[in-house]
């Protein structure tokens, strides 16, 4: 089963500590070697994006930034046997943030991607 994780947090005016980035790289290498991590990337602030909305039959496009207090900062796609495994990877990711970037706060959404198992023949 594949899961998409979305990291939400506030973009800081200071860069993340180098120790955090090293820990993230180590965790990513471990997840990749285990076969769980399929893809991951950081995302630019929403100021460089746009939102397309359909409401009342009309399409509108709004340039960022968006009003949300927390932005989507990065994503990862995992291929695991159960939701609990994806939650564990997300928890480990947040734990390195907690341990190496005091005061930073964020959250990870763990979302199942549809797969063949969701559409039995």
Choose among 10, 11, 26, 8: nearest CA to 96.
26
Q: How many CA atoms lie within 13 A of 85 on its CB side?
A: 15
List the single range of 26-30, 72-76, 91-95, 117-121 with lowest mean pLDDT: 117-121
CATH of 2-114, one of 1.10.10.60, 3.30.360.10, 3.30.70.1060, 3.40.190.10: 3.30.70.1060
Choose among 87, 91, 118: nearest CA to 4.
87
**Model pLDDT, residue 32:** 98
Q: Where are the domains of the chain?
A: 2-114
The pLDDT tens digits of the residues spanning 27-84 come to 999 999 999 999 999 998 889 999 999 999 999 999 998 877 688 999 999 999 999 9
């Amino acid at each position: 089963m594949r899961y998409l994780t979305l990291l939400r947090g506030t973009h800081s005016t200071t860069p993340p500590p180098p120790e955090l980035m090293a820990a993230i790289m180590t965790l990513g290498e471990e997840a990749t070697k285990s076969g769980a991590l399929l893809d991951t990337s950081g995302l630019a602030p929403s100021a460089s994006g746009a939102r397309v909305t359909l409401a009342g039959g009309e399409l509108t496009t709004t340039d960022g930034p968006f009003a949300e207090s927390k932005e989507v900062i990065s994503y990862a796609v995992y291929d695991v046997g159960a939701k609990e495994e994806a939650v564990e990877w997300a928890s480990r990711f947040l734990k390195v943030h907690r341990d190496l970037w005091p005061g930073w706060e964020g959250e990870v959404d763990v979302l199942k991607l549809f797969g063949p198992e969701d559409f039995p023949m």
